[in-house]
């Protein structure tokens, strides 16, 4: 066992001491801490490009005393190498351009419809746009839109923070953890949904007797579908809380904290301007709830049902 606070991670048959590096890791501390004294080779290769490999080469690694390789891992690495060579991980710039224009187009059409008095249609179009842009921001933060990682980050801020109200760093801290420890209960934030939902028999053992969860979880099959309409609202609030909580901001996150906050403020300014186009306060409230609800339920349809499938 290592010393208290020590962080040792194995990558490509070498053990790296990341105790101090975790404070400047662009993906946050949490994802690294989940691989303390574990092999993170596959996760590292999945998340990092040329820049990440160059940075790793600058760190001192100690060769492992015993190889962790096995036939399944070797087969997986061979398959991944073949897919790379065949170009399956190369972004299709023309497709991504079409997708970006069409997704933004939903918000533009929704705004135009609202301006001319068709605010209900505008709310529906904006809700669809939010849902689609959520996944476009997802792909940008995964560096899947272009080969340029800086451009991908910029697109992530535009599609995520400005147009959707989701913090890029909040997303990276949460969603990258999901991919690194997919569906691991107590660790993957996408499936750790107590006190509202349980996903397995193990989750039931985590419920404290006579707690709020013990009262409502038996009825989750009734409120699950209605609850999905609030997902975008919840993620928006989580983004705000994340940016206000300095305790979760490592040095990497702190460097972009000002930009994060300004772009998130810009999102709500744009929302306010669209809401002002509606004919009344009641219509504005309905517009907001409808657009947020459509986006939330659409995002949840993918997020939760993918978790169930996996």
Which of 54, 85, 116 is the last residue in one of the domains?
85
Whether the CB-CB separation of 232 and 129 falls below 8 Å is answered with no
> How far is Cα 151 from Cα 134, in angstroms, rounded to an integer?
17
- Rounded alpha-carbon distances, angstroms, from residue 148 to 90, 196, 243, 289: 12, 40, 26, 36
Whether 160 and 193 share a structural domain = yes
Q: How many residues does the chain have?
A: 310
Whether 130 and 209 share a structural domain = yes
pLDDT 10s digits, 143-184: 889 988 889 999 999 999 999 999 999 988 887 777 777 777
Domain that holds residue 62: 8-85
Whether 104 and 138 share a structural domain = yes
The 10 Å CB-count burial string (b at 16+, else e) for 34-51 is bbeeebbbebbbebbeee
Which of 34, 65, 85 is the last residue in one of the domains?
85
Whether 97 and 62 share a structural domain = no
Whether 233 and 111 share a structural domain = yes
Whether 177 and 223 share a structural domain = yes
Name the nearest CA neighbour of 293 among 232, 247, 235, 213.
232
Beta strands in the chain (DSSP E): 8-11, 14-17, 38-39, 61-63
Residue 254 falls inside a structural domain = yes
Whether 184 and 55 share a structural domain = no
pLDDT 10s digits, 29-79: 778 888 888 888 888 887 777 778 788 888 888 888 776 667 887 888 888
Which of 58, 85, 112 is the last residue in one of the domains?
85
Whether 189 and 262 share a structural domain = yes
Residue 12 falls inside a structural domain = yes
Lowest-confidence segment of 103-107, 148-152, 161-165, 305-309 by average pLDDT: 305-309
Tally of structural domains, the chain:
2
């Amino acid at each position: 066992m290592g010393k208290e606070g020590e962080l040792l991670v194995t990558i490509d048959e070498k053990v790296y001491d990341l105790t101090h590096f975790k404070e400047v890791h662009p993906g946050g501390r949490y994802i690294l801490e989940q691989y303390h004294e574990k092999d993170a080779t596959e996760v590292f290769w999945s998340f990092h490009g040329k820049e990440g490999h160059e940075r790793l080469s600058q760190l001192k690694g100690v060769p492992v005393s015993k190889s962790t390789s096995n036939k399944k891992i070797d087969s997986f690495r061979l398959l991944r190498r073949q897919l790379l060579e065949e170009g399956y991980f190369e972004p299709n710039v023309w497709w991504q351009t079409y997708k970006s224009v069409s997704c933004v187009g939903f918000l533009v059409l929704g705004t135009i419809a609202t301006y001319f008095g068709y605010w209900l249609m505008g709310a529906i179009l904006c809700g669809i746009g939010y849902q689609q842009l959520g996944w476009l921001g997802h792909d940008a933060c995964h560096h899947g839109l272009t080969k340029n990682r800086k451009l991908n980050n910029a697109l992530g801020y535009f599609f995520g923070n400005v147009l959707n109200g989701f913090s890029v760093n909040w997303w990276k801290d949460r969603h990258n953890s999901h991919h690194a420890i997919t569906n691991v209960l107590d660790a993957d934030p996408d499936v750790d949904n107590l006190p509202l939902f349980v996903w397995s028999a193990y989750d039931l053992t985590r419920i404290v007797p006579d707690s709020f969860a013990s009262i409502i979880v038996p009825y989750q099959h009734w409120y699950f579908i209605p609850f999905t309409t609030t997902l975008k609202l919840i993620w928006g609030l989580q983004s705000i809380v994340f940016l206000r909580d300095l305790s979760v901001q490592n040095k990497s996150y702190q460097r972009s904290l000002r930009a994060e906050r300004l772009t998130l403020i810009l999102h709500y300014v744009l929302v306010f301007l669209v809401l002002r186009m509606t004919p009344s306060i009641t219509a504005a409230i309905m517009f907001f709830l409808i657009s947020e609800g459509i986006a939330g339920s659409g995002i949840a349809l993918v997020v939760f049902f993918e978790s169930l499938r996996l």
